[in-house]
Amino acid sequence: MKKLLLINLLLTLFTFYASTQCGMNEVEVRVEITTDPYGNETYWTLTDLIGTVVMQGGQGGVYQNHTSYTDSICVPDDGCFFFEIYDTYGDGIYTPNGYKLYVNEILVSSGADEIKSYAAVIASCPNACNMTLDALNNLQGHINETITLSADELTEIRNTFVQFSYCLAESESMILLAKSVVENYDNQIGALFTTPNTENGFSKNPASSPGLEVERAMLALQQRIYDNVCTPNVYAD
């Protein structure tokens, strides 16, 4: 009987260990939630750079009160993933309860009362400014018709500018490249809000006005250049 119990224990441990191992070029993202007396108020998502939900929990008010939940997933180690957590009442998760976000067993974020109604954090993105540089070059190539990007690729570029806008002011060369992309767009297509497709504005929601992925990317780029480059500190540098 003791041998049987030991074998069952070892099998359970092996199954747990095996299920949490990620492959080559992957990292494990793990979310731990401990609910307060109002567990049904809490839910969260983990999304990639395109906005696809790769893992989530608590939707529909299914979390029980005073209960711990753990979910994990293996994701590419060179990708960007974003954790967002919500509290429908707006008072966060009562301390000492809360959430913990781990990447490869390293705690990268945690929170409780300060969540209020919403909190967001970058779960994993090792090369944000390199990705921003690639986004600028790829958008430049698409505008100049040397490469052709899909709608998803253009959406990823748009989200790169939104999420990592600080990278646009990382160096003078990055600023000049961003300026060149805007000039090329104006010369090839026309300035935003002066062309037939944009002069009346357009929805930020792709589902409401599909086919304007380039325009959304350009709008994000120009807005983030203004926000991050036209500052006293950048001018001083």
Q: pLDDT tens for residues 209-232? A: 889 999 999 999 999 999 998 878
Which pLDDT score, from 0 to 100, does residue 236 have?
Answer: 74
State how far the Cα of 86 lies from the Cα of 119, in Å rounded to an integer.
7
Residue with the larger pLDDT of the pair 9 and 21: 21
Helices 172-188 and 128-143: angle between axes, nearest 10 degrees: 20
For the chain, what percent of residues have pLDDT higher than 90?
A: 81
Q: Is the pLDDT of residue 173 over 60?
A: yes
Average pLDDT over residues 68-94: 97
Which ranges constitute the DSSP H helices of 80-212?
128-143, 151-163, 172-188
Give the predicted TM-score (pTM) of the model: 0.83
Q: Where in the chain is the domain with CATH 2.60.40?
A: 2-124
pLDDT band at 207 (very low <50, low <70, confident <90, very high): confident
State how far the Cα of 63 lies from the Cα of 51, in Å rounded to an integer.
24
Average pLDDT over residues 97-103: 98
Q: Is the pLDDT of residue 18 over 70?
A: no
State how far the Cα of 33 lies from the Cα of 55, in Å rounded to an integer.
14
Average pLDDT over residues 144-171: 95
Average pLDDT over residues 104-113: 97
pLDDT band at 20 (very low <50, low <70, confident <90, very high): low
Residue with the larger pLDDT of the pair 13 and 221: 221
Q: Which of 89-93, 180-184, 208-212 has the lowest mean pLDDT?
A: 208-212
State how far the Cα of 176 lies from the Cα of 200, in Å rounded to an integer.
29
Q: Could you report the per-residue pLDDT of 50-68, keeping only the tens digit for each?
A: 999 999 999 999 999 999 9
Q: Is the pLDDT of residue 11 over 50?
A: no
Phi, psi of 166 (to 5 degrees): -60, -25
Q: Is the pLDDT of residue 89 over 60?
A: yes
Decide yes or no: CATH 2.60.40 for domain 2-124.
yes
